[in-house]
Amino acid sequence: MKTTKKALAVFTVLMLLVMTIFSAMPASASAKLDTSATVGFTLTCDKPGYEFTIYKVADLVNTTTDPYETRYDSLVPEIKDSVLSGNTESILSALDAVKTMPNTATVVGTYESSAEASVTYDNLSQGIYYVRTTNYPANVKSVTNSVFALPYYDGTDWKYSISDIKLAMKITDNTPTTVKTITNSTKGNVNFTDVSLGDVVDFEIRSTTAGSSSLKLTTYTVYDNMSAGLTLDEDSFNVALLKADGTKIADVDSSYYTVTVTSEGEGKNTEFNVALTPGYLQKEDFYASDVYYTSVTYSATLNDASTTAFTGNPNEEIKLVYANANGVAAEIEGNTVYVYTYAIQAVKVDEDMNPLANAQFAIYLTKADATAQQNAVATGTSDASGLVNFKTANGDDIRLASGTYYIVETVAPEGYNRYTEAIEVKVTAEYANTFTEGTWISSAPENGVAIVTVSDSKVILPQTGGQGMMVVYIIAGAFAVLAVAVFVFGKKRKATSAQ
CA 317 from chain center: how many Å?
4
d(CA 296, CA 207): 9
Task: Tell me the whole-structure pTM to 2 decimals.
Answer: 0.80
Kindly report the average pLDDT of the chain as a whole number. Answer: 88
389, 380 in Cβ contact below 8 A?
Answer: yes
| pLDDT of 11 strictly over 80 | no
Q: Please, which pLDDT band fits residue 323 given cuts at 50, 70 and 90?
A: very high
Give Cα 242 distance to the centre of its chain.
16
**H-run or E-run covering 164:** strand 161-166
State the Cα–Cα distance between residues 152 and 20, nearest whole angstrom: 8
Residues 76-93, mean pLDDT to the nearest whole number: 92
User: CA dihedral in degrees (415, 416, 417, 423; nearest 10)?
Assistant: -150
| Model confidence at 372: pLDDT above 50 | yes
| Pairing of the two strands 158-159 and 152-153 | antiparallel
Closest CA to 209 of 327, 135, 288: 288
- pLDDT-based confidence at 386, cuts 50/70/90? very high
- Euclidean distance between CA atoms 282 and 285, whole angstroms: 9
Measured CA to CA, the distance from residue 240 to residue 244 in angstroms comes to: 13
Read off the pLDDT band of 383 (50, 70, 90): very high
CB–CB of 322/210 below 8 Å? yes
Distant-in-sequence, close-in-space partners of 442: CB < 8 Å, separation ≥ 6:
430, 431, 432, 436
* H or E element, residue 270: strand 270-276
- Find the angle CA(358)-CA(362)-CA(364) to the nearest 5 degrees: 170
Tell me the pLDDT tens digit for each residue of 101-146.
999 999 999 999 987 789 999 999 999 999 999 999 999 999 999 9
What is the C-alpha to C-alpha distance for residues 209 and 174, in angstroms, rounded to an integer?
Answer: 9
What is the Rg, in whole angstroms, of the alpha carbon atoms belonging to the chain?
44
Q: Which residue has the higher pLDDT, 358 or 465?
A: 358
3-class secondary structure, 83? helix
**Strands (DSSP E) found in 64-126:** 69-74, 106-112, 118-124
Q: In this predicted model, what pLDDT tens digit does every residue of 402-414 receive, in sequence order?
A: 999 999 999 999 9
Task: Give the residue from 151, 128, 155 showing the smallest Cα distance to 34.
Answer: 151
Alpha-carbon dihedral sign for residues 103, 104, 108, 110: negative
